[in-house]
Structures are given as C-alpha cells and as structure tokens.
Amino acid sequence: FGLLHTHKTSEEDAVQRLLASVVYCDENVLALNKPPGLPSQDGAGTRYSVDSLSDRLLLELKRQGRIGRGVERAKIVHRIDQDASGVMVLGLNQRCTDTLNAMFKQRTVHKEYYAIAVGGPAARHEQLPFTGEVDIPLVEGTLPSGQFRMRCISKIRRGDDSPTDQSEERRVGRNGAITRYETLATGIDCCVLRLTLVTGRRHQARVHLAQGLGWPVLGDHKFWHLKQIKPQVLPTPLLSALGLTQQQARHLPLHLHART
C-alpha cells in the first residue's frame, strides 16, 4: 500500500488502510501489516496511531463478522518504528495480552526484519562477513543541533568470534543490543539483508546498520548521517539504477519491514 501520510490521510481512510492490512484475527489476537508512516502509539505531534484507531478497526471487523461482538479492546503489546512497515500483534483480551507481553519481555518472540541497505559486503566493507552479528550497546545521545537520537557506543562481533556458549541475558546489559544479519542479495551500491533482533532496543536495527556496519537503510533520513538528521545522500550509481535524482531521493520511504 505504500507510505501513509498521516498529515494528508483522514482517520477514516487510515482505518480502511488498516482493515485491508489485517493478516489474521480471532477472538484472542489480531495481526496486521502496519504501513510505513503510521505510528504504533500516540506521541508528540501525531494525529493518530494504530493504538488510537484500534477501536474503530475492531468495529469494522465486527461488522464484517471477522471477530465476535464480545471483543471489547485491542491492546498494543509491542511497537514498530513509525517509518517502518511490518506485522504488529495486538491482544484482544486480558489473558492473551498478558501472555504476549510476557513473551516479548522474556524475548521468546522471534523478531525479524528485512531491509534494503546502502552499501554492503560487495561495496565498501568487503572485509565484513556476509553473515555476522552486531553486538553494540545503544544509548540516547545529543546531536550538535541539540536533537536527541540513539547511537552506538561499542564494537562489532562477527562470524566465529560471536560467543555461543553464553546466555543472551548474560551478554546483554541495560544498554546492550544484539542484531544478527545475513546478506541475501547484493546490487549496485546496495544489499538485501535479513536481520534477527536478539534484543529490542529503540531504533536498534536502523542504528546498528547505519553506525555499526556503515550500511544505512535505504530511505533512512534520520540515522544515515553520524552527526546530523538530514535527507539521505545516495551514491550516483544507485541513483541511476533507481532512476532518481538526489532531490527525488530525499522523499524515499524507509525500506525496512518487520516480521514477528
């Protein structure tokens, strides 16, 4: 369906977009493919979100007979970045919500992302393996502009250097973040990656790719540059392959999709 512009799209149209994005529902759980541009929850400057639209979405599902009349509320149990697309799971009763919350807290949920990244093993970082692990703590830092943004503060673990005999809990501290990656394909100044998030820190996949590996997600205008938030600058060969000018590339959406 493409990018959902919340400042241009009415709430009614957004509900219809969500209705068309439902991939599974029963009396206990609802799964939907969140479009990029739509926040998971309300926050400063947001008009609406998956959470705030969930009551109207349930009403539409009841009208279509896809869920029973007894379902009263859909509750968010995890979040996906506003700019990313991907499957979100919502609990439809307290028992299911509590179970899902416990699963996410205990890290028993498999969190996987697919991304198109600028760069890759066949480009500037040939010394990196096609599969590996980024084990770099994340903290919130302040940019020279005064804006706050997550950033990396340590090192990369990769290939056979990754410890496999330690529990994830022992390896991960308060700021710890671990992302495993696999290169599925390479192209002109870009690659397709499958990412497994061992932890679930805020913006983890985007920061680890941009700052940990030096392969920012295509369309990531927030994290591609180390010291500024500004439109992403793409290599000329990639612009040619996409048939875009640099001016047009500043409007590219984030090419990051979550599977849970």
Q: What is the pLDDT of residues 95-150, one digit of tens each?
A: 999 999 999 988 888 889 999 999 988 545 555 458 899 999 999 888 888 888 99
- pLDDT band at 181, cuts 50/70/90? very high
Per-residue model confidence (pLDDT) at position 250: 93
pLDDT higher than 60, residue 159: no
Average pLDDT over residues 226-255: 95
In terms of DSSP H, where are the helices of the chain? 11-21, 50-63, 94-105, 168-171, 204-207, 236-242, 246-249
* Euclidean distance between CA atoms 13 and 35, whole angstroms: 13
Asked if 31 and 22 count as a contact pair (C-beta separation under 8 A), the reply is: yes
Active site residues: 81
Alpha carbon distance, N-terminus to C-terminus of the chain: 19
> By mean pLDDT, which of 9-23, 24-38, 168-182 is the weakest?
168-182
Report whether 3 contacts 34 (CB < 8 A).
no
pLDDT tens for each residue of 74-110: 999 999 999 999 999 999 999 999 999 999 988 888 8
Residue 256, pLDDT above cutoff 70: yes
Q: What is the largest distance, in Å, between two alpha-carbon atoms of the chain?
A: 57
**Crossing angle of helices 50-63 and 11-21, rounded to 10°:** 70
Could you give the angle at the alpha carbon of 197 between the alpha carbons of 256 and 215, nearest 5°? 50
Dihedral sign, CA of 215, 218, 220, 224?
Answer: positive
